[in-house]
């Protein structure tokens, strides 16, 4: 650890003065580590740094600028009658010196783990925070001794407003709070022990679905952190990619931190730890001199090298990163949203693949470590150089080319083109396609174990009526999700959950017809002439586009699709016992170079 900061005691209204000193982490004095958000880097305040030689505190020191949030935290946390030893990343790390930054970030987990206490600074208080923190403290330490006279629970809106504070949505705080021996949350003058937030998490888990709050990921992860991982057979690398997906919505000033902040956390969550450090397991290290694309690509290659199924990696593919110069199969963790398919039927109950069943391709089921006989995609054209792109070879079967598309559904814009999608389905039916009506297609896409299996047709009708009313202006304008949610809720929480799944799956996607008469829900950026491929060991068919790079069968992935009629092994089901037919299917298999 290079340095720590003494917050020198002074009057609350006086400027902040600190003293910096260096210490070895193994021999450091007792210190607290600050967990906060940097905020707007253009808003800065002056801090005076005194020499560490012990000179007179009234002698002028060296001035430097810190972010306004850091200044406010130090001003709030300093003692008025004694020095306070704090470790603060923006003060103790020279962010502009790459070697020092690499070294210190490697130590971050150890720094927060060794601190006597982690101090979480949320900012200054407001009316909401006072009420909510009082309630959280009351859950943990009731003042009424069970007689019902304690603090009343705040409104759900007040709690949600409190948890919209930036700290709860930053990537680094997950590590900082999870590794803390002890922690306290400071908001203005209020202080609450972090253990009270863990009690809040447990209280929320026991609440009914209707009353349950959507707590921020750092709260839920830290509250579960020391519990044994449920699936001890899952490898370190598979747990890592799963956690990267769950935390991708958290924010980071530097996109590379979306990986560096999470990697050290994963190994500890398994009772039977992976042998060696994560650097040795993955073959990568913290390196801020590398580009964002190179860091993301190195991670994706490391995951494949650790036998993570390609399906696990592509599950985090989100359309829309074509212009960033990243290989199309590499997850772009800068995109904070998921692709919506987690609500689809295949994520809940579907266990097979659209194609490639059994010998001679020998493709395995996700979760089983595959053998080395060509079962892992071959990484081609990637060397330890400055390139950010990394093509891979995969086997695939083309199941159709898009010949017509409908408008894109955009829930944020309150636009769900149900009528147009219905017309496309009817057009496919008139052309001889054996495809059910749109309502049934939507039921097929999501799990039907929620109850209310007949609510989807009514829900589609609700969306149609909403569109008509908005078009005619016959009712006050309200967000689509709110109107559908309120109406569905009258039929119970499960009905609302079912409609939420429909909106999430269809958002950002469009309906398409292929040259074979199939109907598919495809990414919004899919175009006519794009091809739909079933990839080796990947559960969702992918829309692909020829690259024109000169490579034979070179394609870029556009995004996953739900292709009605081939989602449950139909591409090979009829060929399982017919050797000649199986050979015919094998002739359809091509080797794609996914760029």
The per-residue pLDDT for 474 is 77
Residue 347: predicted pLDDT: 42
Measured distance CA(182)–CA(400) in Å, rounded? 57
Question: Residue 248 has what pLDDT?
Answer: 93
- Sheet of 32-35: strands edge to edge? 62-67, 44-50, 17-21, 4-7, 84-87, 32-35, 117-123, 183-187, 190-193
Q: ∠ at Cα 503 (396, 457), nearest 5°?
A: 100
Q: Tell how strand 32-35 and strand 84-87 pair up.
A: parallel
Q: Which residues contact 94 (CB under 8 A, 6 or more apart)?
A: 100, 101
Are β-strands 190-193 and 378-379 bridged in parallel, bridged antiparallel, or unpaired?
unpaired
Question: How far is residue 181's CA from residue 168's CA, in Å, rounded to a whole number?
Answer: 19
Strand partners, 371: none
State the sign of the Cα–Cα–Cα–Cα dihedral 510, 515, 519, 520.
negative
Q: Spell out the residues 6+ positions from residue 85 whose beta carbon is closer than 8 angstroms to its own.
A: 4, 5, 6, 7, 29, 30, 31, 32
Give the C-alpha separation, 443 to 447, whole Å.
7
The pLDDT score that the predictor gives to residue 504 is 85
Q: Is 421 helix (H, G, I), strand (E, B) or coil?
A: helix
**What's the rounded Cα separation, in Å, for the pair 286 and 99?**
10
256-272 burial, b at 16+ Cβ within 10 Å, e below that, comes to bbbbbbbbbbbbebbee
Q: Which two tokens stand for residue 67?
A: 């972010």
Q: Considering only CA atoms, which of 546, 548, 566, 565 is closest in space to residue 556?
A: 546
* 595 residues of the chain, pLDDT tens digit each: 445 554 444 455 778 888 888 888 888 899 999 999 988 888 888 888 886 655 555 556 678 888 889 999 999 998 877 888 999 988 888 888 899 999 988 889 999 999 999 999 999 999 889 999 999 999 988 876 655 545 567 888 899 999 999 999 999 999 999 999 999 999 999 999 999 999 999 999 888 777 788 899 999 999 987 655 554 567 788 889 989 999 999 999 999 999 999 998 876 444 444 455 777 778 888 999 999 999 999 999 888 888 788 888 998 988 876 657 888 999 999 988 777 776 555 443 334 445 444 332 322 222 222 333 434 555 554 544 446 678 888 888 888 899 999 999 999 899 999 999 999 999 988 888 777 888 887 877 765 344 445 677 888 888 888 888 888 877 778 888 888 878 777 877 777 777 888 888 889 999 999 988 889 999 999 999 999 998 877 878 899 999 876 667 889 999 998 888 777 544 444 434 444 444 455 557 788 888 8
Report d(CA 545, CA 556) in Å as an integer. 5
- Are the beta carbons of 375 and 311 closer than 8 angstroms? no
DSSP bridge partners of 378: 393
Contact (Cβ atoms closer than 8 angstroms) between residue 547 and residue 595: yes
Q: How far apart are CA 123 and CA 164, in angstroms?
A: 12
Predicted TM-score of the model (pTM): 0.84
Q: Burial, 169: exposed, middle or buried (Cβ in 10 Å; 0-12, 13-18, 19+)?
A: middle
Pairing state between β 4-7 and 84-87: antiparallel
């Amino acid at each position: 650890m290079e340095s720590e900061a003494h917050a020198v005691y002074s009057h609350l209204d006086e400027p902040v003065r600190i003293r910096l000193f260096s210490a070895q982490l193994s021999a450091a004095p007792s210190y607290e580590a600050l967990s906060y958000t940097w905020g707007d880097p253009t808003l800065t305040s002056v801090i005076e740094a005194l020499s560490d030689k012990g000179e007179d505190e009234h002698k002028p020191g060296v001035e430097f600028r810190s972010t306004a949030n850091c200044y406010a935290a130090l001003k709030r946390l300093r003692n008025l009658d004694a020095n306070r030893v704090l470790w603060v990343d923006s003060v103790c790390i020279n962010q502009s010196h790459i070697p020092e930054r690499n070294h210190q970030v490697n130590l971050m987990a150890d720094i927060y783990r060794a601190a006597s206490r982690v101090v979480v600074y949320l900012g200054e208080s407001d009316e909401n925070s006072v009420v909510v923190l009082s309630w959280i403290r009351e859950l943990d330490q009731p003042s009424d001794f069970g007689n019902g006279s304690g603090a009343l629970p705040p409104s759900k809106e007040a709690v949600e407003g409190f948890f919209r504070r930036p700290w709860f949505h930053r990537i680094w705080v997950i590590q900082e709070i999870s590794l803390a021996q002890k922690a306290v949350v400071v908001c203005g003058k209020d202080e609450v022990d972090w253990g009270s937030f863990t009690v809040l998490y447990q209280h929320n888990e026991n609440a009914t679905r209707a009353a349950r709050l959507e707590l921020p990921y750092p709260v839920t992860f830290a509250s579960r952190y020391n519990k044994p991982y449920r699936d001890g057979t899952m490898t370190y690398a598979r747990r890592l990619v799963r956690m990267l997906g769950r935390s991708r919505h958290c924010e980071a000033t530097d996109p590379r931190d979306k990986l560096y902040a999470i990697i050290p956390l994963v190994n500890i969550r398994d009772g039977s730890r992976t042998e060696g450090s994560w650097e040795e397991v993955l073959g990568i290290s913290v390196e801020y001199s590398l580009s964002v694309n190179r860091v993301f690509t190195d991670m994706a290659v490391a995951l494949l090298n650790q036998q993570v199924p390609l399906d696990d990696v592509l599950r985090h593919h989100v359309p829309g990163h074509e212009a960033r110069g990243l290989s199309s199969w590499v997850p772009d963790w800068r995109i904070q949203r998921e692709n919506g398919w987690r609500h689809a039927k295949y994520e809940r109950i579907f266990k097979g693949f659209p194609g490639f069943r059994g010998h001679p391709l020998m493709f395995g089921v996700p979760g089983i470590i595959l053998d080395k006989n060509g079962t892992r995609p071959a990484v081609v054209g990637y060397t330890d150089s400055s390139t950010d792109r990394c093509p891979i070879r995969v086997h695939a079967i083309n199941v159709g080319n898009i010949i017509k598309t409908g408008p894109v559904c955009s829930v944020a814009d309150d636009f769900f083109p149900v009528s147009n999608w219905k017309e496309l389905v009817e057009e496919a039916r008139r052309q001889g396609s054996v495809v059910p009506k749109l309502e049934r297609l939507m039921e097929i896409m999501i799990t039907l174990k929620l109850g209310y299996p007949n609510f989807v047709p009514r829900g589609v009708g609700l969306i149609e009526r909403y569109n008509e009313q908005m078009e005619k202006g016959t009712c006050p304008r309200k967000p689509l999700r709110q109107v559908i949610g309120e109406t569905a809720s009258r039929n119970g929480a499960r009905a609302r959950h079912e409609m939420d799944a429909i909106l999430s799956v269809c958002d950002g996607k469009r309906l398409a017809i292929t040259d074979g008469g199939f109907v598919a829900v495809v990414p919004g950026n899919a175009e006519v002439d794009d091809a739909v491929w079933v990839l080796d060991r990947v559960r969702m068919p992918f829309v692909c586009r020829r690259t024109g790079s000169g490579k034979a069968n070179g394609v870029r992935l556009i995004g996953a699709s739900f292709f009605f009629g081939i989602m449950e092994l139909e591409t090979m089901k009829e060929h399982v016992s017919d050797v000649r037919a199986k050979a015919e299917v094998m002739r359809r298999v091509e080797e794609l170079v996914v760029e």
